[in-house]
Structure 1
């Protein structure tokens, strides 16, 4: 099945609705097809533009979904509108709900130990139909490959990798050859929300497309990330002129 894509500064975003994306990924899992998904926002796009190795990693993914209203804005600027925002958090929760019905096996990787442990406990409590086959915090030695070997041995249907970008995508691609099946998705701060460590922006802020501002109010240390947005818009505008 062919899909429509929108290229934003070298990153090919799939142009699909949330429901369609959920259906596509569910189909891959049901068929036990190994799949790599990147949830990308403007910050990730800008980082990829400046770091070619990381850009290649992003481009190697089966799907890059638009996690951020800034991506939708950029697509509109390019006169190639994207149907809908597909956030990593919403996609994760939707897949957990589907996995709860189908008894999927899930592995949770990343975060501080207490955050990882609480997130795992909440998944087991809220989704009793899911088989949480393993978990590991985000602090481990990449060189020995022990965590990747454990994931490969457990052969989960979904691996949620919360190491933050670019590490989560680098870990997936570095070890991808070890795995025979599974949906691998970098989910960043989603694990903090699942654990209860952080709360998602209320619907009021989401509807105003100011979720980023809510997070900034809660985490002032994120201010450097916000500075990326004007640069992102400027780069998109310049790319439009070149095209």
Structure 2
């Protein structure tokens, strides 16, 4: 049973457990996708039943945001911890490097995915990158044909949320892949065109503040975090 936070159910797993579940899905013959909602996505799901249903259909729903973890704790339903999508992906790719399974990188600006592929292969010797494609496409058909021709085991869909979640759900039956994962801006970080917060900020769970410092225009999106916490507190007071 998943842990409900404002109507979105999260899998209560450690990082190692999540990677282990993903490894099992990679062996399965049933197409599946993984989502990593943060408080902003949970907030969007409150007003978008279709998105909420898409998130709920995911094989794994991982809490990518300390706000989700705090929210679950406030509700008396503590999760084992935050599972940042980018950290989850790295650990899964590291595991795949020793098994011969392949990954396809989809998203970001032209050239970024190929840069990410090279750096990931240098970091994880043995990792098979089946192919790459940028996220600047209007017609899904040619992209899907290209992905299917490369026959990857894992497809990282980095189109930004909630576009990537909708894309995975809409194309799951058209894609010849075993597993997909929506990972936002992960390819930019893998490629080195964007930087994560320093580890000291990560340990303090202040990555969101570091990002706001770097990109102050994001304040309109960040305002959803306190709104999220207030809504969780309200739900707790109502006894739900």
Aligned partners of 1:38 and 1:157: how far apart in 2?
A: 17
Q: What does residue range 150-169 of structure 1 map to in structure 2 within 5 Å?
A: 150-169=146-165
Partner of 1:184: 180
Q: CA deviation at 1:11?
A: 0.7
| RMSD of aligned alpha carbons | 1.4
Partner of 1:131: 128
Structure 2 runs not aligned, ≥5 long: none
CA contact under 8 A between 2:39 and 2:65: conserved in structure 1? yes
Question: Structure 1 residue 59 and structure 2 residue 56: aligned?
Answer: yes
Pick one of 213, 218, 223 that aligns with 1:222: 218
Structure 1 runs not aligned, ≥5 long: none
Q: Deviations over 1:29-79 (max 9, x none)?
A: 134442210001000100111112111111111111000000010001100
Q: Deviations over 1:80-107 (max 9, x none)?
A: 0001111101011001101111111110
**Alignment length (residue pairs):** 239
Pick one of 89, 94, 98 that aligns with 1:97: 94
Pick one of 11, 20, 29 that aligns with 2:8: 11
Aligned partners of 1:198 and 1:180: how far apart in 2?
A: 30
Q: TM-score, normalised by structure 1?
A: 0.93
